[in-house]
A and B are shown apart, each in its own frame.
Chain A
Amino acid sequence: DAKTTQPTSMDCAEGRAANLPCNHSTISGNEYVYWYRQIHSQGPQYIIHGLKNNETNEMASLIITEDRKSSTLILPHATLRDTAVYYCIVRASNDYKLSFGAGTTVTVRA
């Protein structure tokens, strides 16, 4: 059972913000939203995670709706090196496992 739903692919322009949506309508109260990305032929890279508040770090911002049923990852100024598959994953605080779905293939174009 997929706990998250993401668009299959999206394009964005270099230098512009990239907004990646994720639906997780069945999320439980103790489950966090995690974002990872995987550049071609590399291991996944942790980006950010959150429970209910919006989060920001040096890589991205995470906006979680008040009902927690969806979220948006924002890459503020996309570069060509941000081209990757982005995975939105829901994980309980006491569960170490990560279940990867198909993710969103993001292509940043010059």
Chain B
Amino acid sequence: GAVVSQHPSWVICKSGTSVKIECRSLDFQATTMFWYRQFPKQSLMLMATSNEGSKATYEQGVEKDKFLINHASLTLSTLTVTSAHPEDSSFYICSAFKREGAREQYFGPGTRLTVT
């Protein structure tokens, strides 16, 4: 199978602080990873596409200076929520696109962020 992990699984932080979320593909290489956000009782909304070794592509309405994405290796992408506010509280999910074999997206378990 293709396993994607996220760390941490949940985090509570104070308003104004920054939080980093890691997404790792454990048993395959992923040149492309995606970051989603999901508010309660809503569907997943794509935030950005992360490509290894290049700048991320953000969806319309997503602030790139607030949600910093780094994809430094073929197995790791990070999302940093800078100067977090309570409205950033959400479920953040990453996915990794497998470059070989079954070319599908595999999702991580998600990270629950609560900003107080």
- List the interface of chain A (C-beta within 8 A of B): 36, 38, 41-46, 49, 87, 96-103
Known contacts A41-B110, A42-B109, A43-B93; A103 and B43 CB within 8 A of each other: yes
Q: Determine whether the beta carbon of B109 is less than 8 Å from that of A43.
A: yes
Main secondary structure of the interface of B (DSSP, over half): strand
Q: Determine whether the beta carbon of B110 is less than 8 Å from that of A43.
A: yes
- Determine the distance from Cα of A62 to Cα of B46 in the docked complex, in whole angstroms: 25
Main secondary structure of the interface of A (DSSP, over half): loop
- Determine the distance from Cα of A49 to Cα of B106 in the docked complex, in whole angstroms: 14
Known contacts A96-B32, A96-B49; A41 and B43 CB within 8 A of each other: no
Which of B97, B107, B112 is the one whose CB lies under 8 Å from A44? B107
Which positions 32-67 of chain B face chain A at CB distance < 8 Å?
32, 34, 36, 43-46, 49
- Determine the distance from Cα of A99 to Cα of B49 in the docked complex, in whole angstroms: 13
Q: Could you list 7 examples of A-B contacts with CB < 8 Å?
A: A42-B110, A46-B105, A97-B34, A97-B46, A97-B49, A98-B46, A100-B36
